[in-house]
Amino acid sequence: MTVLNIIQDLLDADKVIEMNKADVSNKMDKLLEAMQSDPNAEYTFSTIHEFWNMVYEGKQWAYMVYDADLNKMIKVEGDKAPAKIQTYKSQSVKAYKELGRQAFDELASWSDLKDAIKAVPTEQQERINAVVKALTEQSKSGNIELLEYMAKTLKV
C-alpha cells in the first residue's frame, strides 16, 4: 500500500467510519513505517520534510520548500491540505526534531510517537515551569518585595 493510498484512506470519511479504532491505528502505524528509514528499502527519505513534501506534491497540496539559490523558503502552489493531515505532519515533524532520526526510526507505533512528544517538554516549557516553581516558593515564604514587583510588572 502506497503512502498516498494510506493518506487517502485516512481522509475518506466513509472508510474511517467503517474502520474500527484498530484499523485506523493500523493505518497510522503504516504511515509511520513509511516515514522511517529502512536500510533495505529501494529509497529512504533523507528528512521528514522530504517525506511530507512528497506526500503534499502527490496530493497537489501547497507546501514550502527551501530554494538554495534564493536562500529562502518558497511556496509550492496547490490546495490547502486537510487539517487532519496537517496535524499528522506536525506531530511527526515534532517527534523527528525532538527525538532525532535514530530514535524516530525506532518508534514502534503512532501511539508511541504521540507519547514521545507529550513526554518531552520544550526548553521554553522547562524555563516557564522553573519560574512558576520559584514564584510559588517565594509566595509561600512571604517575600513581599518580590510579590509587589511581580504585581506591578504584570499590572495586577
pLDDT tens for residues 94-146?
A: 999 989 999 999 999 999 999 988 876 778 888 888 888 888 887 788 777 87
Q: Give the Cα separation of 52 and 40 in Å (integer).
A: 21
Determine the pLDDT at residue 112.
94
My answer on whether 73 and 134 are in the same domain is: no
Lowest mean pLDDT among 2-11, 12-21, 58-67, 105-114: 12-21
My answer on whether 106 and 73 are in the same domain is: yes
Taking phi over 0 as left and psi of -120 to 50 as alpha, with beta for the rest, 78 belongs to left
My answer on whether 156 and 91 are in the same domain is: no
Determine the pLDDT at residue 96.
93
3-state DSSP call for residue 59? coil
Place of cell 504585581: 151
Distances (CA, A) of 27 to 20, 81, 149: 11, 18, 54
Q: How confident is the model at residue 47 (pLDDT cuts 50, 70, 90)?
A: confident
Mean pLDDT of the chain: 84
Long-range contacts of 110-113 (CB under 8 A, 24+ apart): 110/25, 110/28, 110/29, 110/31, 110/32, 111/25, 113/32
The share of the chain scoring above pLDDT 90, in percent, equals 38
Residues 6+ apart with CB under 8 A from 66: 72, 73, 74
My answer on whether 114 and 64 are in the same domain is: yes
My answer on whether 115 and 129 are in the same domain is: no
pTM of the full predicted structure? 0.68
My answer on whether 148 and 76 are in the same domain is: no
Across the range 85-100, mean pLDDT stands at 93
Higher local confidence (pLDDT), 146 or 83:
83
Domain that holds residue 105: 3-120
Amino acid occupying residue 72: K
My answer on whether 115 and 150 are in the same domain is: no
The share of the chain scoring above pLDDT 70, in percent, equals 88
Determine the pLDDT at residue 46.
79
**What's the domain count of the chain?**
2
Q: At what angle do helices 144-154 and 123-141 cross, to 10 degrees?
A: 130
My answer on whether 113 and 129 are in the same domain is: no
